[in-house]
Structure 1
């Protein structure tokens, strides 16, 4: 991720912005920009418009995360433009592409977005999809910000200082998940996880914390998420006779959980745990459509958002059909941090405003909206943007240095929040 070395990059050449984003229309007309510098912001001259793109899931296993992230991004843009835009220019219609749970498609989408001359890209949602496009985006001198990448891989990734995330690393989530498991009295734990950076990263962080607390990890097995059945994985878990099972998965996890329950490993007999990839209102019905209550007692953890009813109310007013909200606050914060960094740098050139991305999230005067933060910047003050997802306080790596983790469960076939816990790096 962030490196001590900073690179000077060529300015991104901007072109005419496509009017239509992949999901719905924008409040702005097809504002276009000419020139190549991104604007220096001097005097009263307007900078070139800040141009945004996205690569987010519109199809595939994480399609349920597409609407909240895309709508949160559009909502942030609409609020910024109501406040006069960035450096006096409205953000044009956002151009987007589908990550689709497929690296080849995500790469093609990134190409299309980059060809529109964007200054920053929101996404991807999945860590694996971001890893498929990060070199392409950051190598082009374009800022990338994800609201849901949690794989520890990104912390030290060599991205030239262009990659950021508002979701915490699984290095912070793993210890909380382990603490929930041991707190429930379990000591013989089997872990099965997707064979990708997200799955392996969270599985290893959880296993390390479990073992340091005295629990025994009897299985830490990865599986091919594209497999057609998971009988072999289920059999390995059953053979170990654990008193708790952790499933680090996306939608395919429903098949694993269903298989475990068919073998007698039900939540009323052993601990069944998941993480953010399985946190879904629909999971009980996906596991057992006829009896969603069969999943009652399953628990999990996920990056939490601050208790922010005003944001939830306003986002739902902006997008009335929105049901799932997971990672919406984090994506909203990505857009605001980018916009505020451009204001602080007095430039929409990514090579300039990337240097302000960390600074606008800490060690300044508190503010929690683009409009309020902009007023402080205009007054020559340093700012500390506290976002819709909570205080960000980016470390040099361009990610939250601490996090609030939600503990969730299922009761009466419905998703419930049990608790939130603060997490910080384990020394």
Structure 2
């Protein structure tokens, strides 16, 4: 796998794209949260024991349910590591797990009030940008932090969130640029897309289009569908009729229904996936059905975080949880939990607004912290009166003034004969 560094350029060399993000609008990240009652202090550790309660609104059901297990495992693993050193830090964390569902089953309508009723300082979720937009006003309006490990819609960069929204996943401006350029550099001149009609799907399609057209290509078909749709014959027919060189599937789990209609009619090596549907399909499809297809998702390559995924597997087994088959956004969920705990520790408070004021600092956004790569090491710096700069499993993170990560990696993957994906070697 090759790796390259880039700064808003239009070249993809394969394997892993390292990108630098710039904020479009700058705003303060302080908020008026009600997650706790302690008064914030300078970075000298807590003056008394802190009990931090977090909630999760991650997809246990719905069209992103395959992302739920790795995300929840990442949160649980982080919680365990935080609580291992409570005696040294004075902070313990408890997590109330909840289901975000999707915009069809609307599980969030019952779950968000339940989580807020538990007195959480922050809610981790949702995975879907479209789902997060359904309850962000409810959460941040209550003065509680919303922290997504997977939202990529550019809508959040300028959203009026009272400075209480953060994410460890980068905006789709970046993934769209990488995917559009990858398709062009593979020699394709025309592109068709099947697109989920929500803020994630249409936003990502917009940036793929911009990058592909800037490289000299033409988008010849771009039909959309809605969450809850079960038939995609019209969209498939429209794309195939345009006879594109490549097809990008910007969908969630609906891809499992779409793909069988493409098999035999369209070459797999000209199909492209995104983070919403890049999955290890294995025996769900005949062997070799997806050989050569490529896809992208934000985050470091799985090869680069093997130590983390191995440790996560051990944790999952020890806890008696079902073995993981996917790891997408596990690292981002883990990092979100660690950052929230560090922010509480740095603030000396579990008050949401006080934590929000410290999240930029502990991510390295203030530019004056001491680098550290584990909760225990970062917590020791804070307890000692210093400023921690956490570099996470998912990357450096480093929040800007609107809670977006300023550095990000986009992994590029390719499917093999067994319908599972691995790093694209270029």
Q: CA RMSD in A?
A: 2.2
Aligned-pair CA distance for 1:365: 1.5
Higher RCO (CA 8 Å, separation ≥ 6 residues): 2
Task: From the superposition, tell whether residues 219 and 85 of structure 1 become closer, same or farther in structure 2 (CA, over 3 Å).
Answer: farther
Q: Per the alignment, do residues 206 and 231 of structure 1 end up closer, same or farther by CA in structure 2, a change over 3 Å counting?
A: same
- State the alpha-carbon separation in 2 of the partners of residues 177 and 86 from structure 1: 45
Alpha-carbon separation, structure 2, partners of 1:88 and 1:187? 59
Residue in structure 2 matched with residue 98 of structure 1 by the alignment: 99
State the Cα deviation string for residues 47-72 of structure 1 (Å, max 9, x = none).
54111111111122222211111111
Q: 2:294 aligns with which of 291, 294, 299?
A: 299
Alignment TM-score, normalising by the size of structure 1: 0.86
What is residue 274 of structure 2 aligned with on the other side? 275
1:284-303 CA distance string (max 9 Å, x none):
544x3xx2312111111111
Is 2:34 the partner of 1:11? yes
Corresponding residue for residue 69 of structure 1: 71
What is aligned with 1:184?
186
Q: Aligned residue pairs: how many?
A: 390
Partner in structure 2 of residue 37 of structure 1: 37
1:11 deviation in Å?
Answer: 2.7
Kept in 2: contact 1:303–1:403 (CA 8 A): yes
Cα deviation, 1:229-256, whole Å, max 9, x if unaligned, reads: 1110011101111111111011111222
- Answer yes or no: is 1:309 the counterpart of 2:306: yes
User: For 2:51, what is the secondary structure of its paired residue?
Assistant: coil
The Cα of 1:38 is off from its aligned counterpart by 3.6
Report the CA distance between 1:115 and its aligned residue.
0.4
Q: Deviations over 1:91-148 (max 9, x none)?
A: 13x2122112246321210110000111011111111111111111111111111111
Aligned-partner Cα distance in 1 for 2:228–2:100: 16
Whether contact under 8 Å (1:405, 1:420) holds in the other structure is no
Who is 1:425 aligned against? none
8 Å CA contact 1:173–1:202 kept in 2: the answer is yes
Aligned mate of 2:254, from 249, 252, 255: 252
> Relative to structure 2, which stretch is displaced further, 352-361 or 378-387?
378-387
Go from structure 1 to structure 2 and tell me whether the alpha carbon gap of 1:265 and 1:378 turns closer, same or farther (over 3 Å shift). same
> 1:319: which partner in 2?
316
Structure 2 residue 109 is matched with structure 1 residue 114: no
1:256-314 Cα distance to aligned partner (Å, 9 max, x none): 2222234x21225xx111101111112x544x3xx231211111111122612221122
Deviation at 1:415, TM superposition (A): 2.2
Cα 1:101–1:123 change in 2 (3 A) is same
TM-score by length of 2: 0.86
